[in-house]
Amino acid sequence: MSDILPITVFLNGVAVKRIREEKKLTQLYVSKVVGVTTDTISRWENNRYPTIKRENALGLAEALEVDVHELLIENPDEVDAAEPRLGLSSHPATIAALVSLLLVAVLFYFLYPAQDDTRVVALKVLRKLPHYAAPGSHVPVRVNLSSPLPEGGFILREYFPKGWKLVQASPPASSLDNVNGVVRWIIKAGDKRERVVYMLQVDPAATPEHPGAFRGEIIVSGGDGQLTVPVEGETSVMLEPVLWADSNGDFVIDDAEMLQASYTVDEMSGVYIDWGKLEKLWDAGRYRWDEKNADFVPVR
């Protein structure tokens, strides 16, 4: 897409502001993705800068999750008029200047090579999901971050099933769209956290025919601009009347599953999980899903 855009493009500030507000995104979030200040975003939205660099337009499209052309005023006649052509054959001084600039650029390339993005790409982000979830129940989600983290910070964006609701998160979400199932976190430089965690309430109307699907990505700054790295790990949850801690779905919380649940609760620090209820289901030996009250109850 970027190779068919001119170096500078005409920005439709009204469209940028409308799309950002429709998606419930803050200027702070957009500015972090693009790599500019919130004041710049405000100026773009108010058409204070009618043209912007191609890279910034692509960054806006990434932040707003739309095709870049939705943000532009595409009038080839105006673009042509705004870009005066140089008659190089009749301007030898111009040719000499361009050659000099080219030589400087080549020299700069070899003396100051672009930042190696290997470290950034090597960043591993792993999502951990329970095997099962009952419609209307709550399920924990963990996104584990590898170390070392990017020095300049990054943005984590997670997509969860539509109809499901994010009810808790640690750290708190920087941006949340519970209608379309999109949540974002801005992880600032110097943040040493090991994971991002959140709790979802499953859509009460969800059916086994449509298992909950997840995907996500992180956005970091690399040597050639922005890099998008996908979140790896588990991507779906089976919809059955089974507790999230019951990994084999036999309606029994055995000792091994309870031990694993304790690790999950520890990792979900900052998000409340009723450990007492888990203990009651464990002690009872068996449990069932009470659909009327949307809760798991012990069976003795």
Read off the pLDDT of residues 266-291 as tens digits, 9 standing for 90 and up.
999 999 999 999 999 999 989 999 98
Which residue do the tokens 């640690």 mark?
A: 170
Query: What is the mean pLDDT of the segment spanning 82-103?
Result: 55
Compute the C-alpha angle 186/190/192, nearest 5°.
Answer: 85
**Banded pLDDT at 222 (limits 50, 70, 90):** low
* Choice between 177 and 115, residue whose per-residue pLDDT is larger: 177
Query: Looking at the domain 2-80, which fold is it?
Result: 434 Repressor (Amino-terminal Domain) (1.10.260)
Residue 6 to residue 53: CA distance in whole angstroms: 9
Could you tell me the pTM of the whole model? 0.71
Average pLDDT, the chain: 84
For residue 163, give the DSSP letter. T
pLDDT for 62 equals: 87
pLDDT for 217 equals: 94
pLDDT for 5 equals: 80
In three-state secondary structure terms, 66 is: coil
For 97, list phi and psi in degrees, rounded to 5: -65, -40
Residue 62 to residue 226: CA distance in whole angstroms: 10
Residue 180 to residue 42: CA distance in whole angstroms: 25
Task: Name the least confident of 22-26, 84-88, 131-135, 190-194.
Answer: 84-88
Task: Name the least confident of 48-52, 104-108, 273-277.
Answer: 104-108
**Banded pLDDT at 97 (limits 50, 70, 90):** low
**Banded pLDDT at 98 (limits 50, 70, 90):** low
Query: What is the mean pLDDT of the segment spanning 140-144?
Result: 97
Task: Provide the β-strand partners of residue 270.
Answer: none
Contact 167, 200 (CB under 8 A): yes
Task: Name the least confident of 52-66, 158-172, 210-224.
Answer: 210-224
Contact 148, 192 (CB under 8 A): no
pLDDT for 104 equals: 55
Query: What is the mean pLDDT of the segment spanning 64-91?
Result: 64
Report CA torsion sign: 268, 269, 270, 273: positive
**Banded pLDDT at 113 (limits 50, 70, 90):** very low
**Banded pLDDT at 148 (limits 50, 70, 90):** low
**SS in 3 state form for 133-150?**
ECCCCEEEEEEEECCCCC
**Banded pLDDT at 108 (limits 50, 70, 90):** very low
Query: What is the mean pLDDT of the segment spanning 51-67?
Result: 88
- CATH code 2.60.40.680 for 120-299: yes
In three-state secondary structure terms, 72 is: strand
> What are the angstrom distances between the C-alpha of 151 and each of 63, 123, 172, 191, 265?
20, 12, 21, 9, 29
pLDDT for 49 equals: 78
Residue 234 to residue 97: CA distance in whole angstroms: 55
10 Ramachandran zone, left/alpha/beta (phi>0; psi -120 to 50): beta
pLDDT at position 259 over 90: yes
Query: What is the mean pLDDT of the segment spanning 56-65?
Result: 89
Q: E strands within 202-290? A: 212-213, 215-222, 225-230, 232-233, 236-239, 286-290
Compute the C-alpha angle 171/161/228, nearest 5°.
Answer: 60
Which residue do the tokens 């507000």 mark?
A: 21
pLDDT for 189 equals: 81
> What are the angstrom distances between the C-alpha of 58 and each of 40, 67, 153?
15, 9, 20
**Banded pLDDT at 51 (limits 50, 70, 90):** confident
